[in-house]
Structures are given as C-alpha cells and as structure tokens.
Amino acid sequence: MTTSVPMIRQTAGAGAARAAARRRGLTGGANRRPGWVTYLFLGVALAVAAYPIYYAVLLASSDAITIAQNPIPSLLPEGNLFGNIGRVLTADIQFWPALINSIIVSTLTALSVVVFSTLAGFSFAKLRFRGRGPLLVFVIATMAVPTQLGIVPLFIVMSKLDLTGKLAAVIIPGMVTAFGVFWMTQYLEEALPYELIEAARVDGCSMIRTFWHVALPAARPAAAMLALFTFVGSWTNFFWPFIVLGSGNPTLPVALQLLQATYFKDYSLIMAGVVVSTIPLVLVFIVAGRQLVTGIMQGAVKG
C-alpha cells in the first residue's frame, strides 16, 4: 500500500539508472535493448488499437454508396469528412444541445467528484475520529456493489422529484465516488505531512481553511488525475443518461444512439457522428494521456 512512491522513484528517481541497468542485464538477456520482435509485437498492438478509430475516420470521409460497394475502405481518407460532419451537426439528433449537455455533465461531475473526494480523503487520511477505520472499509466495500441494478427505484425517485429529462438526474448520482475517496485518501496519506496541518492549525486556521490552504494544494496532482478519469467516465457513460434523459435532452452517447436508430443505412453519417463525439476525448488524450497512464499505474500499485 505504501509502494507507490518507491515505484515512481524506480522509473524516474535517483536509483532509476541502477534499477534500469539491473533490469537490462536480466530481462534483456545478452542484448541491452529488446530486439525488433518486441517492437514488431508492439507495432501490431498499436495498429489494432488505432485502426478501428482510423476506420471510423475513413468511413466518415466517404459516402454511403462507396461504403456499400467497398467493404475494405481505401487506405487514405476521402474528401467528404467535413461535409458529413456538417450533416451530423444539422441532423435531427440535437447535436449541439447534446454536446453542451455532455460538457456540462462531465465538467460538473468531475469538479464535484474532486472536491468531495479530496475533502473525504483529507479527513480519512489525516484526521482522527471515531469509526474512521470501519467507515473507510465501508467505502472500499461499496466499490463492489453493482449499483447500476438500482436503476428502477432510482428512476422512480427521479420522476417523483420531476427530474427525468433533466441533467441534474445524471449529475447527482455521480457527484462523489468510492473510487475517488479511496484514491485521494491513499494519495494524501503520503503527500501531506502532519507538520503542515499542525502549522496551519497553530496559525489559527479552522479545519475548512486548513483543507483549503494546505490539503487542496497538496492534493493537486492526484486531483487532476481523478478529474481526468471522472471526465472520461462521465463523457462515455450511456446506460443511465439513456434511461433518464432519453432523446429529448440527450448527452452525446444518447445522441449517437439516436443517430444510429434514425440513419442506420448511412454509415458515412454515423461514423461522422462517432468521429465528432470522440474528438474532444482524443484531444484530452493528446494533452493528458501521459497523466492517464501514470494514474492507472499508480492506482494499480496502490489498489
């Protein structure tokens, strides 16, 4: 549980060279670097990971007739990409409202998860109170509860509150997650020294000011990763928005479903929808993919 920091040091810190040299000598056999077979394997893996996305771009830049006649698309995109995207934007699926809804839902969910998880993580990691241990175990245990199966009553509750079809119905259930609380607890346990908290307290900070001025700044790297993962999760979420929002006030995945149901014969249009709805996350990936990788690997060692 305390192994994450040594792990990071191993790849980036002072002992990295020694560790790497040792590893090279062992897993690399006689060669210092792995041979071309390794790179070939990785190249194939990368192609498998990337081709379906490229395939969507290829189809989105084509037209329905060409797609029907050529099951195997050409290697390079054709010229209709922007035309097809334009058709998606004006199609009868409320693309713009869906995009705005997705941005609102994902952003608010990510912000809220970060704030509440950091608050709870600060409390679990650094404050002493009765029941702390059992409560934390409870939080972890809830991760194994398939809450998606409670959708029937959740839907009943949302319709009683007159929230069906409204974004609040999607945002509220995701406002704080067990994973987030656990993640921030783990991080703050190591990243936030008691001395800092005590110094703030001696200076007369209330608890909430201590949180705001000491814990939150210390939590920033982990909070950014948590925000990323929550954003991606929220952006790609389909089941619950599909049920509670419906086609009247969709998020992007719901709009995509609508696009498929309405225009299922025109794959250039459907794939253009796939492309535009995926672009924002690909941008996130280009900017912050490194953080996603680090986040998954850190979480793995801790979890």
Positions 76 through 115 that interact with other proteins (CB under 8 A): none
CB-nearer residue toward other proteins: 96 or 239 = 239
How far is Cα 226 from Cα 145, in angstroms, rounded to an integer?
20
Smallest distance, other proteins to C-beta of residue 1, A? 4
Whether 158 contacts 169, CB under 8 Å? yes
Q: If we measure between CA atoms, which residue out of 236, 233, 224 comes closest to residue 287?
A: 224
Whether 256 contacts 106, CB under 8 Å? no
Give me the DSSP letters along 12-64: HSTTHHHHHHHHHHHHTTT-SS--HHHHHHHHHHHHHHHHHHHHHHHHHTS-H
Q: Which pair of structure tokens corresponds to residue 276? A: 């535009």
Smallest distance, other proteins to C-beta of residue 90, A? 19
Given candidates 61, 62, 110, 173, which one binds other proteins under the rule CB under 8 A? 173
183 binds other proteins (CB under 8 A): no
Query: Buried b / exposed e across 221-256, counting CB within 10 Å, b at 16+?
Result: ebbebbbbbbbbbbbebeebbbbbbebebbbbbbbb
28 binds other proteins (CB under 8 A): yes
CB-nearer residue toward other proteins: 49 or 76 = 49
Given candidates 12, 13, 15, 53, which one binds other proteins under the rule CB under 8 A? 53
CB-nearer residue toward other proteins: 220 or 290 = 290
Smallest distance, other proteins to C-beta of residue 187, A? 15
Question: Mask 248-277, x = binds other proteins (CB under 8 A)?
Answer: ----xx--xx--xx--x--x--xx-xx--x
CB-nearer residue toward other proteins: 103 or 157 = 157
Smallest distance, other proteins to C-beta of residue 47, A? 9
Given candidates 27, 36, 76, 79, which one binds other proteins under the rule CB under 8 A? 27
CB atoms within 10 A of CB 277: 22
Angle formed at CA 275 by CA 272 and CA 277, multiple of 5 degrees: 110
How far is Cα 80 from Cα 141, in angstroms, rounded to an integer?
50
207 binds other proteins (CB under 8 A): yes
Smallest distance, other proteins to C-beta of residue 292, A? 6
CB-nearer residue toward other proteins: 76 or 149 = 149
